[in-house]
Amino acid sequence: MTDKNSLTANWNYPTAIRVGPGRIAELGAICKASGISRPLFVTDAGLAKMPIVADALGHLAKAGLGTQVFSSIKPNPVAANVEDGVTVYRKGGHDGVVAFGGGSALDAGKAIAFLSGQTRPIWDFEDVGDNWTRADPNGIAPTIAVPTTAGTGSEVGRVSVITDEDTHTKRLIFHPRIMPMAVIADPALTVGVPPALTAATGMDALAHCLEAYCAPGFHPMADGIAVEGMRLVRQWLPVAYRDGTDIEARTRMLVAATMGAVAFQKGLGAIHSLSHPIGAVYGTHHGLLNAVLMPYVLAFNRPALTQKMDLLSQALGLPALGFDGIARWIDELCHELAIPKTLAELGVEEGKADLIARAAVVDPTASTNPVPLEEAAVRALFIQAVQGTAILNRGGKTRTSVTRS
C-alpha cells in the first residue's frame, strides 16, 4: 500500500500561450493588454541583425509602442549582462520587457524585468530557501516571451539561469512573478534554425521531459505532460531536423519544449546538475551538453528506473520495451541527430573532474535525481562521459552499461 505521505504535494502551472504561425503579429496588442507601452526588446547579438527581429519591431511600432533593443548578452548570460540591461531599462524609462530568442535571451530578459525595480543585487535572489521573498513584487516588470528555438522552455519558467563569472557556476534566480505574462509560440520564427541547433535544442526539451518523469515525488500531472512531451519529440524532432521548413514539426517541437519546462516543476536530475557547471566553465551550448550526457546519466540511474521505463516504453510505442528499449531509442536518436558521443568532443577535459563533481552535487537540480548523487560517483560518471567509456550502443556497436564507482 502506498504511504499516504507520499501522496501529498503542492502544484503550480503557468501562463497564457498563443501558439501558431503568424502569431508574432499580435505582439503589440499583447504588450498593450499587459500594460506595456514602452518595452525593452531583449535579444542576442546574432538575432538582433535578423529579419525576424525587424519584423517583430515593426509590429511594436505599428501598435504605437516606443521600443529600444538590448542585445549585449552572452550565449550563457552572466550577471554583468543583466546588470547592463537593467541600466538601459531604467535610463530608457521602460515599463516592460519583450524577451525574444533562445534560452539565453529569455533568461536575461526575465532577469532584467525582475531586477528592474529591486534594490538588492542579483545573487540575493538565488533559488535557495526563501530568498525569493526578499523581492519587492511591485518592482517586477511584466515580460512577454517569444521563443525562437524549441528547447529551453524558459518562456514558461519561474527562474532565470544566470552564470556567476566569479565562481564559474550557473545560478537559478527564482520568483513566481519572473514567469512571463504571455508567450507567443510562433513556429515561423524557428524555421531558420539550422539542423545542428534544432537537434541540440530539441534534445534539451527531451532532457527536461525525461528528467521530470524520472524525478521522484508525487506529481502525476507533470508526469503526464512529460510523457506527451517525449512522444512529440520522438515523432517530430527528426522531422524538424531533416526539414526545417516543416511548420507542423516546428509547432509540435515548440509545444514539446514548453511542456518540458512545465513538467520539470517536479524536478530534474544529474543531466542538468552536470551540464550546469560544465556550461559555466566552458560556455558550451546547454542543450548539446544535455544530449551528450543523457545516455550516461540514464544508465547511471537505471537501478531506480525499472518500473518507470517499463511504463514509458509502452506509452511511447517503442519496438523494444523496458529500460533497454528507452536506452536504445535515445541512443539511436542521438546518432540520427549527429550528437557527439563524448564530452571530449566538445572540448571538455578530464582534469576538470573534481571541480565539476563538487559543483554538480550541490546544484539545485541534484536533489531530485532518482539515484542520490555522491561526489565520487558523479566524478566517475563525468569521466565516463568525457572518455566515452562504457558508452551505450551507438550506430550498431555493442551495448554495455555505464557502471558506478
Q: Is the pLDDT of residue 404 over 50?
A: no
Q: Is the pLDDT of residue 227 over 50?
A: yes
Q: Is the pLDDT of residue 254 over 80?
A: yes
Best CA proximity match to 101, nearest among 179, 158, 41, 169 = 41
Query: Which DSSP string do the residues of 288-344 spell out, in sequence order?
Result: HHHHHHHHHHHHHTGGG-HHHHHHHHHHTT-SS-HHHHHHHHHHHHHHHTT--SSSG
CA distance 331 to 394: 6
Please give, one letter per residue, the 3-state secondary structure of 18-56. EECCCHHHHHHHHHHHCCCCCEEEECCCCHHHCHHHHHH
Q: Is the pLDDT of residue 396 over 50?
A: no
User: Cell for 136?
Assistant: 519587492
Q: How far is CA 186 from CA 68, 115, 125, 362, in A?
A: 22, 27, 31, 36
Predicted pLDDT at 5? 60
Q: How crowded is residue 344: how many other Cβ atoms within 10 Å of its Cβ?
A: 15
Predicted pLDDT at 15? 86
CB-CB contact of 246 with 239 (8 Å): yes
The CATH label, of 3.40.1710.10, 3.40.50.1970, 3.40.50.720, 3.40.50.800, for the domain at 16-190 is 3.40.50.1970
More confident residue, 400 or 266: 266
Domain ranges of the chain: 16-190, 195-387
**pLDDT single digits (tens) 126-174:** 999 999 999 999 999 999 999 999 999 999 999 999 999 888 888 999 9
CB-CB contact of 202 with 336 (8 Å): no
Predicted pLDDT at 395? 40
CATH code of the domain occupying 195-387: 1.20.1090.10
User: Cell for 302?
Assistant: 537505471
**pLDDT single digits (tens) 79-136:** 999 999 999 999 999 999 999 999 999 999 999 999 999 999 999 999 999 999 999 9
**pLDDT single digits (tens) 10-40:** 565 678 899 999 999 999 999 999 999 999 9
More confident residue, 400 or 236: 236
Q: State mean pLDDT over 40-64.
A: 96
- Beta-bridged to residue 161, according to DSSP, are 172
Predicted pLDDT at 6? 59
Q: Is the pLDDT of residue 405 over 50?
A: no
- 403 confidence band (pLDDT: 50, 70, 90): very low
Q: State mean pLDDT over 265-289.
A: 95
pLDDT-above-90 percentage for the chain? 89
Q: State mean pLDDT over 46-59.
A: 96
pTM of the predicted structure, to 2 decimals: 0.91
pLDDT-above-70 percentage for the chain? 93
Burial of 276 per CB tally in 10 Å (0-12, 13-18, 19+): buried
- 9 confidence band (pLDDT: 50, 70, 90): low
Predicted pLDDT at 169? 86
Q: State mean pLDDT over 197-210.
A: 98
Q: State mean pLDDT over 47-68.
A: 96
**pLDDT single digits (tens) 336-360:** 999 999 999 999 999 999 999 999 9
Q: What is the mean pLDDT of the chain?
A: 92
Predicted pLDDT at 2? 52
CA distance 129 to 80: 24
Report which residue type is found at 178. Answer: I
**pLDDT single digits (tens) 311-338:** 999 999 999 999 999 999 999 999 999 9
- 3 confidence band (pLDDT: 50, 70, 90): low
User: Cell for 369?
Assistant: 535525481
Least confident among 90-104, 264-278, 381-395: 381-395
